[in-house]
Chain A
């Protein structure tokens, strides 16, 4: 069975601090996909990134970066120079290639960025 663990329930930082959100996953499939979604206070789910299991390259998009390490089954998300608008709940999710794109979500990490 697949599982996603986000051990950090809530993180509080002050604006301009860097913050890393941890994600650890379990799966028996060799082909799988990992995702990060953002849920701002307004409630919608915003897609941030997709990564397949064969691509371990780190990715940077503006202030966001992702570190994928198969050896430790982790897909961590770092926000550099955090801003108040980054305050949200962030979900890590896993989809096995054989699973019709169904997602297994972690419980989410609430990030609070104060001015």
Chain B
């Protein structure tokens, strides 16, 4: 039972390069999220998805795009990386129901943009 798996775990990019972070969950969760964690800032929501084919902006969406073509996968793209996007990225998933349930987080991706 893998839970939420993020690929890659570490990456160094040069300014202007592009990349895609992959998140996969095997819990059949409807909801998926991308957060970024910066020192002293806690975690902030970038984008989220409430189902296959749907996405929505979170608190800090600029510079990122996302896609949810399959229920189990949620991709985060950086089209032209900037040093300000150096961060630890966490993917999470949860299931809808009566109320709000805890999110299950991946291990994180440490991205450095130089």
Q: Which residues of A pack against B, CB within 8 Å? A: 4, 6, 9, 32-33, 35, 37, 43-45, 47, 50, 52, 91, 93, 95-97, 99-108
Contact = CB atoms under 8 A, between A and B. Distances in A.
A35 to B, nearest CB: 6
A65 B92 CA distance: 25
Interface stretch (B12-20, B60-68, B100-108): B100-108
A101 B103 contact: yes
Contacts of A108: 42
B108 A43 contact: yes
A91 to B, nearest CB: 6
Contacts of A37: 105
Chain B, interface SS category:
strand
A44 B41 contact: no
B101 A101 contact: yes
A43 B48 contact: no
A47 B58 contact: no
A97 B105 contact: no
A108 B102 CA distance: 18
